[in-house]
Amino acid sequence: ERAYKPVSYVDQMAIHFTLNGNMILKDSDEGRRQSIRLSTAAEKTPVETSAVTSEEEEIKDEESTGDTEAAGAEEAEGPGAVEAAEAAEAEEPPPPRVKEQKLANQFNFIERASRTLNNPMRERASQSEPTPRKTFSATANQWKIYDAYVEELQKMERSKEKEKPKAQIAKREEEKKKGRKLTTLELQSDDINKISKAAKIMERMVNQNTFDDIAQDFKYFEDASDEYRDQQGTLLPLWKFQYEKTKRLAVTAISWNPKYKDLFAVGYGSYDFMKQGQGMLLLYTMKNPSFPEYVFSSETGIMCLDFHNDHPYLVAVGFYDGNVAIYNLKKATSQPSYKSSAKSGKHTEPVWQVKWQKDDMDNNLNFFSVSSDGRIVSWTLVKNELVHTDVIKLSVEGTTMQGPEGLQLQTFGCGTSFDFHKKIDYLFLVGTEEGKIYKCSKCYSSQFLDVFEAHHMAVDSVSWNPYHLKVFISCSSDWTVKIWDHTIKTPMFIYDLNSAVGDVAWSPYSSTVFAAVTTDGKAHVFDLNINKYEALCTQLVVSKKKNKITHIQFNPVYPIVIIGDERGHVTSLKLSPNLRRMPKAKKGQEVKKGPEVEIAKLDKLLSLVREPESQA
């Protein structure tokens, strides 16, 4: 009728389970019928339960009435009448009580099925007590069948028992052989482990003796000539790390281990996209510069890597083919423990950066990746499998492509680098190949918080300041390094380094010190607190002949940097005192240290930059 109508009554009760019991009331018709059947079957006098109960009631009534009558007689007639009544009771015996029989439910098939038939007694008929011939022959046939089954079972058990010892003997012999092999292998592996440990210690001792002058410089040397350089500094070359199999590969990523401060990982691949091949992941320690501690090879080039903060044995890696993987340094295998695939949502283009994040709500390991396909993906390790979630897609506003049949196709930005805020968990920056920097949130998958028109060419690196919550730095192939306040659209500082900038990094010990490397083989170290306009050190680190610097990283504890180049070499350099100068204390005051001092120092510089802008 196409109209809403009120329903007068709705039954809200839903019956999910019912079970009929097997109890019957005695006074019911069914109970009386069953009592009659049971009494007739037992060849007893047919007495209905109702009659029995009525007789019992009559007897009780008679007794009660007799008692009352006797009491009245005693009062009326005296003791003679009482004696006569007692004699009469003794002469008349009480009626026999009928035993109550339990009533079984005739329709309860569970009880009936649980009853078992008793086997007939296995006895021969004696001459004195003749038995019917039919019943005897029937029981005899039953016992013949039973005996045949028992004999068959006994035969089967005997055959099994005969087969068992043969199989057990064969198993024991195999186990003995395997045990012998295992014991020999175990002994060999134990011996190899012992020898390898001893050999590693010996190798480190030999290296320490060989490179004793470098070790002394690393530990004790401080360049006294810095006092006469007018605040300029230098980089002192220390160890050079190289491996035979990585000579034709470029250093594509460098990362220090968060726990072992002398250990760092190096990723090898190629930035020449016409010459792609195998990649390698090596881990070096400053205790042994002649040979890597760990060696992992991959089918495609490694483009980025990152150590986990809480689990320093886990390394997240991004590959040129769009895959990501996790290497476990505790496992003695050359293959990654977990790796993405086309089914699990891998990137379609090279992965440029990976970053570990805090574990998710279920305490699953979690890291992010950025790629040229415009996707920023969150990878979660769930039940030994990498599960992906697309966090955001870098859509470029106002740019559409003309597709077939006049379709308008939206183009996506190519992500090249990203970094997460040190304090605000959801906030992160993404640098793109178009030169833009997007300020994004993990909470929004289709919208940016802000867009910075940062560079004219690809953004090679973007990084938040470790001390100041508002400041970040970026570098690009357009020769510039820029320092930003994320609340302001324009950069605070701009530095032109006269060559494409491959990488930039903040120092861990000061909020105003950073270093950058350029493709002309030079390293530049700045300290904004001393000089806001020029680098305190510009030094040639590698020869210009077909070689370029690709990456730079500060050690978190020691005053050194490591620099990677396109020939697979990693060079360590020590910062001179002018490049790590701490603020001097005034007379009668102690030197203040800590993050608050660093934040105040950088805030002061930013305020000096903002003042002329406000006046203009």
The pTM score is 0.65
pLDDT > 90 fraction of the chain, expressed in percent and rounded: 21
Q: What is the mean pLDDT of residues 352-376?
A: 88
Please report the pLDDT score of residue 129 as a whole number: 47
Summarised one tens digit per residue, pLDDT across range 302-329 is 999 999 999 999 999 999 989 999 999 8
Please report the pLDDT score of residue 305 as a whole number: 93
Domains of the chain by start residue, with CATH:
210-581+594-610 (2.130.10.10)
Summarised one tens digit per residue, pLDDT across range 216-231 is 888 888 888 878 888 8
**The token pair that represents 393 in the structure block:** 């897609």
Higher-confidence residue of 395 and 284: namely 284
pLDDT tier for residue 70 given thresholds of 50, 70 and 90:
very low
DSSP 478: T
The Cα 548–Cα 535 span in angstroms is 20
The Cα 503–Cα 524 span in angstroms is 11
pLDDT > 70 fraction of the chain, expressed in percent and rounded: 74
Please report the pLDDT score of residue 503 as a whole number: 92
Please report the pLDDT score of residue 405 as a whole number: 53
Q: What is the mean pLDDT of residues 594-611?
A: 71
DSSP 226: G
pLDDT tier for residue 615 given thresholds of 50, 70 and 90:
very low
Please report the pLDDT score of residue 75 as a whole number: 45
What is the pLDDT of the chain when averaged over all its residues? 78
Q: What is the mean pLDDT of residues 252-275?
A: 90
The Cα 499–Cα 541 span in angstroms is 15
Is 6 a residue whose pLDDT tops 50? yes
The Cα 564–Cα 318 span in angstroms is 18
pLDDT tier for residue 434 given thresholds of 50, 70 and 90:
confident
Summarised one tens digit per residue, pLDDT across range 130-145 is 444 444 555 667 778 8
Is 203 a residue whose pLDDT tops 60? yes
Summarised one tens digit per residue, pLDDT across range 34-46 is 888 888 877 554 4
The β-bridge partners of 420 are 428
Please report the pLDDT score of residue 413 as a whole number: 72
Long-range contacts from 496-503, C-beta under 8 angstroms, 24+ separation:
497/522, 497/524, 500/457, 500/460, 500/476, 501/460, 501/461, 501/475, 501/476, 501/477, 502/460, 502/461, 502/475, 502/548, 502/549, 502/550, 502/551, 503/460, 503/461, 503/475, 503/549, 503/550, 503/551, 503/552
CB 469 within 8 A of CB 480: no
Residue among 465, 450, 454, 569 nearest 501 (CA)? 454
Please report the pLDDT score of residue 137 as a whole number: 56
The Cα 413–Cα 392 span in angstroms is 11
pLDDT tier for residue 175 given thresholds of 50, 70 and 90:
low
Is 181 a residue whose pLDDT tops 90? no
Higher-confidence residue of 303 and 160: namely 303
Q: What is the mean pLDDT of residues 538-564?
A: 89
DSSP track, 153-214: HHHHHHHHHHHHHHHHHHHHHHHHHHHHHHHHHHHHHHHHHHHHHHHHHHHHHHHHHHTHHH
Higher-confidence residue of 361 and 559: namely 559
CB 498 within 8 A of CB 506: no
Cα–Cα distance list, 109 to 22, 37, 105 (Å): 10, 19, 9
The Cα 349–Cα 497 span in angstroms is 30
pLDDT tier for residue 530 given thresholds of 50, 70 and 90:
confident
pLDDT tier for residue 187 given thresholds of 50, 70 and 90:
low
**The token pair that represents 453 in the structure block:** 């028109």
Residue among 281, 319, 274, 313 nearest 297 (CA)? 281
Higher-confidence residue of 24 and 368: namely 368
Rg of the Cα trace of the chain?
47
Please report the pLDDT score of residue 74 as a whole number: 45
Is 125 a residue whose pLDDT tops 50? no
The Cα 601–Cα 589 span in angstroms is 17
CB 233 within 8 A of CB 537: yes
Please report the pLDDT score of residue 610 as a whole number: 62
Please report the pLDDT score of residue 146 as a whole number: 82
pLDDT tier for residue 551 given thresholds of 50, 70 and 90:
very high
pLDDT tier for residue 571 given thresholds of 50, 70 and 90:
very high
Q: What is the mean pLDDT of residues 597-612?
A: 70
pLDDT tier for residue 94 given thresholds of 50, 70 and 90:
low
Please report the pLDDT score of residue 481 as a whole number: 93
Residue among 383, 388, 464 nearest 429 (CA)? 464
Cα–Cα distance list, 264 to 47, 331, 563, 588 (Å): 101, 18, 12, 42
pLDDT tier for residue 47 given thresholds of 50, 70 and 90:
very low
The Cα 368–Cα 379 span in angstroms is 6
Q: What is the mean pLDDT of residues 249-257?
A: 92
pLDDT tier for residue 169 given thresholds of 50, 70 and 90:
confident
Please report the pLDDT score of residue 184 as a whole number: 57
Summarised one tens digit per residue, pLDDT across range 488-528 is 888 999 999 989 999 999 998 888 899 999 988 899 999 98
Please report the pLDDT score of residue 105 as a whole number: 56
> In sequence order, which ranges of 411-514 are alpha helices (DSSP H)?
none
Please report the pLDDT score of residue 21 as a whole number: 79
The Cα 21–Cα 535 span in angstroms is 95
Please report the pLDDT score of residue 96 as a whole number: 62
Q: What is the mean pLDDT of residues 49-60?
A: 50
